[in-house]
Every structure is written in structure tokens, then in C-alpha cells.
Amino acid sequence: MSLSVPIRPVPLALQLWSVKESVAKDFAATAARVAGLGFKGVELAGYGSLDARGARAALDSVGLRVAGLHINPAKLGEINQIIDDALALGSKHVTCAFWPRTHYVTAAACEGIGGRLAEFGAILRSAGLQFSFHNHDAELAVHDGRTVLAWILGAAPPRCLAMEPDVYWLHHAGYDPARFLLEQGARCPLIHLRDEAEIGDGPVDYPKVFAAIDAVSSAEWLIMEQDRFNHEPFESLRRGVDRLARWGRA
């Protein structure tokens, strides 16, 4: 697999959902193991038994930054708590982790979801935060000639709703992730790197993905996420980081 040297280095973070059992058991010990693998930051989806300030202290102690927070859409009504947590953690990025796919019934419904997300994004923006949306495969279904994701993003101004594309889920849904990055990359400060299991051992065409990332040159974080493992989870993550390092991406 031939990959070009990155034009602009982009730091690598881990989505801690990848090791959620370890996080639930001991957040601080998990953070230390993640730092030891060579990650520069983490994307959070909970803090185990800690609160946001406790999580920040644990991350600071091992030199990890917070790339962003994933928020369950059911929690978006707790907007003041989200803002307080993001500021306490020193993160500028808050991401809606998913949306229930059963809501994607019509183009109008998808536009309505985009409008609702934009409203949350405007509130977060007033606090100095950037709101994004993270895709799975359901967002690539088509209504009236456009994908669900196109309807959602089209209904929201980029300043109020950025995008966190997941390259594996784009591929899995039949949409070339490199094409998506070239189309929407200026709207994508965070990019999820995922494969069927270990990074680089699955179907995602990472040379094309990284070429697109370099061409757009707007990514602030590359964020690895893994939820299927051929090895013990931290061993799988180590192999992924090593491969990304060989590609000049870690």
C-alpha cells in the first residue's frame, strides 16, 4: 500500500468508545495506556466514574488532549451541561454521535433533523464551540435523489453544523469516502478512521482517503475508532497506531 507523505501533520486521537469496558472500569488507567500507545488525544463518549473535571485531570497527567466529545442525541437537551463539560475539558468540538435511523423516513424529515441540529449548533457556537454530526451507513440512504446526509447538511449552515465523516461507514454504504472528503472536506475538522477491524486490514482505500485529506487540508484531528477486534483490544490499537505511523499519520 503506497501512501504519500502528509502535506500537513494532523494529530491522532482515539475515540474512547473503542475501549469502553476499560473506561468504565478505570478511566485514568485507560488514559495512561492510550497515551502509551502514542495517541496525542482522545475523543470522549463518557468519563467512567469521573466527572468532566476529573477526566481532564487524568488526561492532563498523561499528556492527552481532548479532540472532542460525542453526545447521544437524547442528551442534546442538556445543552448547558454539554457546554460546561466541553469548556472544562478544554475541547472546542462537540459531536452528535448518531441519529436514530428510523427517523429518516422522508426528505422533509431529514431536513427537519438538519434544522434541529443547526439550532443546537448555534447555541454551542455562541459559547465558542463547534458542533458536528457523525455518520453511520444509514445516512447514505437516498430520498428524492439525495442522500439523507445531503438533506441534513443542506438544511444547516456549516458554521452551525460541521461534519465528522466516518470513512468506514461511508465505504460500507457504497459511498467513496475520498469523494466525500473532497466534496465536504472544508466542513470536516474531525475525521474518523475505522476499518472492518484493525486499520488497514479491511476494505477502506486509505491511500485515496489520505490523499483527499491532504488535498482539502482542513482536518484538525484524525480519530481512530475500532469496535471489532482480531486481537486483545489494546494490542489491536497498537497495531493500528504502528501502521498509521508507517504511513506518516501518527
Query: What's residue 3's pLDDT?
Result: 65
Tell whether the model's pLDDT for residue 2 goes beyond 60.
no
- Comparing 7-11, 97-101, 102-106, 113-117, the range with the smallest average pLDDT is 7-11
CB 224 within 8 A of CB 14: yes
Four-point Cα dihedral 41, 58, 54, 192, nearest 10: 20
Q: Which residue has 489520505 as its cell numbers?
A: 210
Q: Which residue has 497498537 as its cell numbers?
A: 238
**Alpha-carbon gap, residue 46 to 165, rounded angstroms:** 20
Per the DSSP assignment, residues forming a β-bridge with 68 are 43
Query: What's residue 68's pLDDT?
Result: 98
Q: Which amino acid is at 189?
A: P
Phi, psi of 12, rounded to the nearest 5 degrees:
-105, 130
Task: Write out pLDDT tens, residues 35-53.
Answer: 999 999 999 999 999 999 9
* DSSP assignment string, 166-214: BHHHHHHTT--HHHHHHHHGGG-SEEEE--SSSTTSSS--HHHHHHHHH
Query: What's residue 96's pLDDT?
Result: 98
**Entry pTM:** 0.96
Query: What's residue 7's pLDDT?
Result: 64
103-108, long-range: CB within 8 Å, 24+ apart, which pairs?
104/138, 104/139, 104/141, 104/143, 104/148, 106/143, 107/143, 107/144, 107/146, 107/151
User: What's the mean pLDDT when you consider all of the chain?
Assistant: 96
Query: Confidence class of residue 12 from pLDDT cuts 50, 70 and 90?
Result: very high
